[in-house]
A and B are shown apart, each in its own frame.
Chain A
Amino acid sequence: MVRIEALLSLLAGMVALIAIIPVIPYLDRALLGVALAAIVGGLWCDRRRRYPLNRLAATLVAGAGILFYATRITTADVATPVVHALLVLLVVRLLSPKQPRDYLQIFVLGLFVLAGSSLLNLSIGFVFALFLLVFAVTIGLVLLTVHVTDPKMIMSRPDLAKLLRVALILPVVSLLLMIMFFTVLPRTRHPLWNFLNTAGQASAGLSEEVQPGAFAQLSASGQLAFRAETETLPPEHLYWRVLVLNQPQGSHWVRTEPPAEGPVRVEGGEPLTLTIYPEPRKNRQLITLDRPIRVSGPRHQETPDQVFMARRPLDHRYSLQVTARPDANLAVLGDPHRAFYLVPPATVSQRVRDLATQIASNNPETNARLQALAEFFRNRQLVYAQNDLPEGPDPVDSFLFEKRRGYCEFFASSYATLARLLGIPARLVGGYLGGDYNGLGGYYLVTENAAHVWVEVLTDDNRWRRVDPSQWASNAAAALGERQPTLLTRVQRLADTFNYYWIQAVVIFDFERQIRIFTNTGDHLRDLRPGRISPLTWSILGVTILIAVLLVFLRKRPRRSPEARLIAGLRRKLRRRYNVETVPETIGLNELADRFDSEACREFARIYQAAVFRDRRLTTEETRILKGLLRKV
């Protein structure tokens, strides 16, 4: 026998625990300790029916807790103090005497704490906590109803099992309906309380300066930068464009407002469209695939050098659709402002200047100069490396003539410097190179490790052409390939796929996507003709019909008892074995055994009748033997 109140106490503790887990990283250690102790203590108190807080003390402690955390609310962070205050209320409820309404309050507070966690963290862990909480709260509410109806109710285990079986319909169907409601609930384009969503998740993202020589060792993080949904692309097309650095400042390269170049046109290459899901980041540049033609996503502004600046900070999750031609050049149709892109760094060594003069005198044409430059880079046997890097006031000189090792920033800034000295307009482009393709989800995963800098040079026909001098490193193939984490284990790949779908399906679902779903559904319904239905629609339709038929079938045909099923099985078997059309229902088992002269059938009749004629059900052992006999018939 099970006491309903004992079960309720257990569920209240479970609800509190499930609600607390997602917010643990954001809690004061002290309050976390108290909360965990209250969960265990609450169970103990319910068992003993002795509580440390009476009603009055509970009210006072709750009031004091709310007041304390209310003073900590700031415009920058509303959610954390509110979650703390909710947790104080939860603790107080767990440690005070419990009426039915108190259990209800614990369930509601649990849900509110989980809701609060969504303002602190958008990870997929939320959905697990939500699932568990929906199960615990709904079952808890059903038991609470039993408790309210009869506070002293004690149920036998089979009765409780029956109740729980029906009660389980609640969470299971609720979670299924959740998917539908999630899609159709009204959304606004511009939420008013966006400030409540904590922005603490955003990573720094790409540096907005190129500073070769600033560090002796490059420490790159394996943090995820973005995912890009597309088919597999050749490695040489995987240049993810983010920002353009156009002016040297000492030995650094920075971005200044580029001059208006008039209209530009992307030429050559095949267009392809892909969707990019960046991680939240602090800078405002959108990530695109080089060369972008069209970008749609957060509201943004495009500059002439194909940098897309969002109007608002990108510290939330979003997606953007990019149409690009990976193999194309950018033709400037107006004035390209060559002078702007010809300013060399102030700190160029004499050796570098001499090198530029030498190449220029040998190659009067731009294309020849570019070829000579490439030749020079190849012949220098430069090494792509991330440690023991050139340092000092003139890292370009040190890189080209002394250490001859460095990472992409050294290659790019050296190349751009030399190009400018040769009179070829050049600029640095920052972004990412490559990516690891996840075949399960059909997307590229790009980490911060893949950050890369390359160069664009303006040819005589006013076309910006991409040049990646890092590829001329003597160890380019190995080094650039190594930077890409060959995505870990299968399990991690699978986990990342889940995370990807979570972000895609839930986190960034917004008004536009909602409208798109409605429009697409409407279009599909309008175009619904047998010849034009896609296999996916067919399969959805098929599954729906199958479920409907199954439901009707189950409804129409009540489940037969095991005994009736065995008899039906015997008749069917006899029909097949002796090749007769029908075995009349009116013929009894003994008569059947005599008519077909079957020993197995006789034995079947004996066991079956021994049970059924004594008005008892067949035991498991008997059923097993009868099934064995059926096979023998």
Chain B
Amino acid sequence: MTLLLGFAAVNTGNNLLYLLVSALLGFMAVSGVLGKWNLSRLEARLDPADEIFAEHPTLLGIRLINRKSRLPTFLMEAAFEGRSVLFPHVDPRRDQRRNLVYTFPRRGRQVLPPVILRSRFPINFFIRHQVLATGQSLTVLPKPRRCMLPDLPDPGGRQGLRQSWLKGQDGDISRIGNYQGGEPLKHIHWKLSARHDTLKVKEFSAATQPPVVLDLAQMPGQNLEQRISAAVYLATRLLKAGRPVGLQTEETLFPPAVGRLHRQRLLEALATYGQN
């Protein structure tokens, strides 16, 4: 349009047309600059969930940070591996988070792909974009593969030879302790308490199962990936049931234990197995 009017202006020598063409040229220039500003001084951070399993859809947060001191950013679309979310506007010196559902295809330690920011603002004639490498990495846990729980031996379990590691409600009395304030009244040892200044409570051990060491080589599955997936399934399942779980790989033995950190160590070992 500008070209057409420019052509008409030159050929008619009509200064009013020149004025109109000049305004349109000015508009093109300033819309270009505004579009560039809109994309400038932006940062993108990915906020992944704590545990991500391969091939399982997960919510991935994208945080858009506008580092500009005055100008808000408008209509910014953040795309991550073909999926995108829209940030209608982010104020200057503020950030905003939007989530998208994403499925990581593979297990292992991986550097996250870049976020592509694109925007039509201010005018829908062009889409400007920039690729922002976040430099973030995360460990994608192997996909758990359901398998049958093995028939686990419990030597001496039935004879009461094995000591439970955990406190519980329904095991044997493991010791007498001081009342901490939260114990049920039925656990108070009234007789002992009468002899002391403080209330005494009976502490029970948990009814527990014996520790298990998962031998990766023995896991069910036709290949390594399937065996790893089975190990992940078993480890999470057994740990959830409160059973100490260890892991035996070719190089390393993780002795059986319980707890969140231990679980994380086992799953990370399985996630990165064979990749280093």
Contacts and interface: CB of A to CB of B under 8 A. Distances in A.
Interface residues of B, number: 42
B18 A145 contact: no
Nearest to B16: A118
A263 B88 CA distance: 79
B22 A509 contact: no
A119 B18 CA distance: 12
A192 interface: yes
Contact of A185 (B1, B21, B34): B21
B224 interface: no
Interface of A: 100, 108, 111-112, 114-115, 118-119, 122, 126-127, 130, 134, 138, 141-142, 144-146, 148-150, 153, 155, 159, 162-163, 166-167, 169-171, 173-182, 185-188, 191-194, 196-197, 506-510, 555, 558
Contact of B30 (A111, A159, A169): A169
A141 B15 contact: no
Shortest 9 CB-CB contacts between residues of A and residues of B: A177-B26, A118-B16, A191-B13, A181-B22, A174-B26, A174-B27, A145-B124, A193-B11, A182-B22
A145 B122 contact: yes
B19 A127 contact: yes
Contact of A191 (B5, B10, B69): B10
Contact of B10 (A162, A170, A177, A187): A187
B86 interface: yes
B223 interface: no
B132 interface: no
A188 B22 contact: no
B192 interface: no
A130 B20 contact: yes
Given A100-B124, A149-B120, A197-B12, A177 B30 contact: yes
B5 A115 contact: yes
A397 B143 CA distance: 122
B48 interface: no
B100 interface: no
B124 A182 contact: no
Given A114-B20, A185-B22, A194-B13, A145 B123 contact: yes
B14 interface: yes
B124 A134 contact: no
Given A108-B1, A167-B122, 7 more contacts: A111-B1, A115-B8, A119-B14, A119-B17, A130-B19, A141-B123, A173-B30
Interface in B6-53: 6, 8-27, 29-31, 34
Given A119-B14, A166-B34, A506-B19, A153 B27 contact: no
Residue among A159, A170, A187 facing the most chain B CB atoms (10 A cut-off): A170
A427 to B, nearest CB: 37
15 contacts: A118-B16, A130-B23, A162-B89, A163-B74, A166-B34, A166-B122, A167-B122, A170-B30, A173-B26, A178-B23, A181-B23, A185-B21, A185-B22, A188-B11, A506-B19
A626 B75 CA distance: 40
Residue among B20, B71, B86 facing the most chain A CB atoms (10 A cut-off): B20
Contacts of A507: 15-16
Nearest to B31: A170
B72 interface: yes
A175 B77 CA distance: 30
B233 interface: no
A510 B1 CA distance: 23
A180 B19 CA distance: 10
Given A118-B17, A145-B122, A193 B72 contact: no
Nearest to A176: B26
A142 B8 CA distance: 27
Given A122-B16, A193-B8, A148 B124 contact: yes
A118 B86 contact: no
A141 B124 contact: yes
A115 B18 contact: no
Given A177-B30, A178-B23, A181-B21, A118 B14 contact: yes
A178 B26 contact: yes
A156 to B, nearest CB: 10
A145 B8 contact: no
Contacts of B11: 188, 191-193
A141 B13 CA distance: 29
Interface string B93-131: 000000000000000000000000000111110000000
Contacts of A111: 1, 5, 20, 24
Contacts of B17: 115, 118-119
Contacts of A178: 19, 22-23, 25-26
B27 A138 contact: yes
A83 to B, nearest CB: 13
Contacts of A177: 22, 25-27, 29-30
A153 B88 contact: yes
Contacts of B19: 118, 126-127, 130, 178, 182, 506
Residue among B10, B12, B123 facing the most chain A CB atoms (10 A cut-off): B12
A151 B123 CA distance: 15
A150 B146 CA distance: 42
A148 B121 CA distance: 11
A149 B30 CA distance: 21
A555 B70 CA distance: 9
Nearest to A165: B72
Given A185-B9, A186-B10, A193-B8, A509 B123 contact: no
Contact of A163 (B8, B23, B89): B89
Contacts of A194: 12-13
A451 to B, nearest CB: 29
B9 to A, nearest CB: 7
